[in-house]
Amino acid sequence: MLSNFSRWLTYTCALLYAILGTLLFLFPTQLAPVFAWKVTAFMTITIGGWCLGNAWLAYINARRWDWKLVYSSLIYLWLFGIGELIVLFFFRDKLKLEHPIAWLYFITLIVNALAAFVGVFDYLRLRPSNKLSDTAITKTQSLPAVAFVLFVGFLGLYGLTTQIGDIGTNGGIFPEVMSLFTLRSFGVFYFALALSVVPYFWDRSLNAVLHHSFAAYGLIVFITAAAFIYIGIFDFAKRPGGLAYFGVYLAVGIPLTFVFIKYGTGVSKN
């Protein structure tokens, strides 16, 4: 498995994301005007949902710390931190670091990226095996992973490449018009999620799939909760695409609950 230093950095990511996410989630109206770039209160609470989800994901990975279980979740975390830092770099002229909450976001991403570089170095040095050693899923059971990568990967690529004014950027699905800065940040989030699931095209480990789903479950819970808190800004009659925003998270989150009840959360049997 990866080194204790890498594990400590992952725990540190969990702590920083938990603090950052709690503040953004509980005080979006107050913190939106002083965040790292121009965002609305709903965008702020949504980013807070990402951070709380990341905190849970980092914590459960550091706690279990078995490469066969955690590697795909770590790929997401690593890609997220590096990707969001790249977005900050390209939009550095719009970056505002006057308030401590903006610095906390920036520092959290730096620690996340450091965890990524240390983790990749450890992997190249140790070459830990993720050879299948437990129950395997069938090819049919792996189809949801393929569908997830195609759909979420498309959202990620679209967010990373589209321009303001294109389809879906004017409040049609997400209920508010995003700046290009915010759109790229959302694109990194979705693209990192999609890429982290790609290994399950060939990795048939049931425990690994269950763990990845359980680690990412916090993202579903907190982002959906943020949307329900701000449900008043959705106009489903004029912009029915907003239903898709809720529907996607609920369509994934509700079935996963029953999957966990039946199969567990992926704790290694070894």
pLDDT in tens, 162-187: 988 777 677 777 888 889 999 999 99
- pLDDT, one tens digit per residue, over 188-219 is 999 999 999 999 998 889 999 999 999 999 99
Q: In this predicted structure, what is the pLDDT of residue 191?
A: 97
CB atoms within 10 A of CB 190: 19
Which residues does 27 contact at the CB level (< 8 Å), separation at least 6?
none
Q: Which residue would you say has higher pLDDT here, 131 or 126?
A: 126
Report the distance separating Cα 69 and Cα 82, nearest Å.
22
What value does the mean pLDDT take over residues 233-260?
87
pLDDT at 75: 97
What does each C-alpha distance from 186 to 14, 151, 172, 203 come to in angstroms? 20, 14, 15, 27
- The fraction of the chain above a pLDDT of 90, given in percent, is 71
Q: Which of 119 and 243 is assigned the larger pLDDT?
A: 119
pLDDT of residue 52: 98
How far apart (Å, rounded) are the C-alpha atoms in residues 23 and 26?
Answer: 5
Question: How confident is the model at residue 270, as a pLDDT?
Answer: 46
Q: What's the chain's average pLDDT?
A: 92
**67-90 and 180-197 helices cross at what angle (nearest 10)?**
160
- Inter-residue long-range contacts of 121-125, CB under 8 Å, 24+ positions, other chains counted: 122/2, 122/3, 122/6, 123/2
CA atoms within 13 A on the CB side of 95: 17
Mean pLDDT of 99-116: 98
Tokens 């610095």 belong to: 103
- Of the listed ranges 5-9, 50-54, 226-230, 234-238, the least confidently predicted one is 234-238
pLDDT confidence of residue 129: 74
Query: pLDDT: is 98 or 237 the higher one?
Result: 98
Give the C-alpha separation, 180 to 166, whole Å. 11
Q: What is the pTM of this model?
A: 0.93
Work out the pLDDT band at 130, boundaries 50, 70, 90: low
pLDDT at 236: 85
The pLDDT > 70 percentage for the chain reads 96
- CA 256 vs. chain centroid, Å, equals 17
pLDDT class of 127 with cuts at 50, 70, 90: confident
As beta bridge partners, residue 205 has 136
**Mean pLDDT value across residues 66-82:** 96
Element (H, E) at 109: helix 100-126
- Residues near 34 by beta carbon (within 8 Å), at least 6 away in sequence: 96, 98, 99, 101, 102
pLDDT higher than threshold 70 for residue 31: yes
Q: Which amino acid is at 187?
A: G
pLDDT of residue 248: 85
Q: Map tokens 């931190």 to a residue.
A: 81
Cβ-based burial of 124 (10 A; exposed 0-12, middle 13-18, buried ≥19): exposed
